[in-house]
Structure 1
Amino acid sequence: MKMNASLIYEILMYLNSFYFGMYATFEIGVGVLKAIGLNYNSDDLTRDGCILLAMCIVETIRIVLGRKSSLSNHAWQATASVILTLPSLAIVIYLCCFQTYVLKLEIILSALMIALQGAELVYAGVFICTMCGDNTYT
């Protein structure tokens, strides 16, 4: 049985586009609530806000490139999407473990995001290898 990495990658990117929207909205809302209700140092608040903004930008670009690459079979877009997964993954790990204040719900949602991005990395690698490989027709 042959695995269609392109289809699985497209499904994961589609799922991630919805999950990321929910995750980013949650993180922004929780960030606002933490800024209002907790004793935040202004430097820490600025750093956490800038990191969250960077995640939103990087993840949006990554999802757009990943969705376009699997639909149009452009290897460079898939490769760029995979490369952008690394900083996005690092930011999610920061939000999960190293923020000034971390809630348990943030840990759970971040773990799901990390698992989704990890699966995307695996299937994107397989997808890129199949796109760059020799096409033999029998």
Structure 2
Amino acid sequence: MATGQIARPGHPRAVTTSKSSLPYQVILYLNGFYFAFFFIAEILIYIFKGETLPYATNALAAEVVLVFILAGVEALRLCMGGKGNLTENALSVISCLLFTLPALFGTLFILLWQTYVLRIEVILAAIQLAFIGLELIFSIIACITFASQ
């Protein structure tokens, strides 16, 4: 019992336990910072590529637009996952799981399917894929935990 609280006779003490996942929240938090770094690095890499490498008409612009779309999807995904985990709302975590698919394909695009892939992009995208994979595992565990209430 906390200091200053008095137990009244006839009132049971309410004990609440939190089912939110600390490892999932930590990974979401770290991925938020990493993705900001990843996004800025990708924009700088595209500036470098645009200056030094020959691109087909509109190919560079399309790739940059896809990176901005990926940033929007990733921001929504991280926000939904964090809020869903903290509020123990399975629906928000499931929507985060649904946004994981476009985020995964966007990262795979950067890793495999863009016009020119630099070694630094392979390293950055592999780290991002590791974050996505860990978040996928922990979000499934969180959904199962929240549904078992």
TM-score by length of 1: 0.90
Is the radius of gyration larger for structure 1 or structure 2? 2
Q: Compute the displacement of 1:76 (Å).
A: 1.1
2:21 counterpart residue number: 6
1:48 counterpart residue number: 63
1:102 counterpart residue number: 117
Q: Is residue 85–residue 93 contact of structure 2 (8 Å, CA) maintained in 1? A: yes
2:92 counterpart residue number: 77
- Contiguous gaps of at least 5 residues in structure 1: none
TM-score by length of 2: 0.84
Q: Does 1:24 align with 2:36?
A: no
CA separation in 2, counterparts of 1:92 and 1:5?
A: 27
CA separation in 1, counterparts of 2:62 and 2:98?
A: 23
- The alignment of Structure 1 onto Structure 2 pairs a total of residues equal to 131
Runs of at least 4 residues of structure 1 off by over 2 A?
none
Q: Is residue 100–residue 132 contact of structure 2 (8 Å, CA) maintained in 1? A: yes
Deviates more, 1:72-81 or 1:36-45: 36-45
Secondary structure (helix, strand or coil) at the match of 1:39 reads: coil
Q: Is residue 66–residue 77 contact of structure 1 (8 Å, CA) maintained in 2? A: yes
| Greater share of helix | 1
CA separation in 2, counterparts of 1:58 and 1:33?
A: 25
Query: What RMSD in Å do the two structures reach over aligned CA positions?
Result: 1.2
Q: Compute the displacement of 1:5 (Å).
A: 6.8
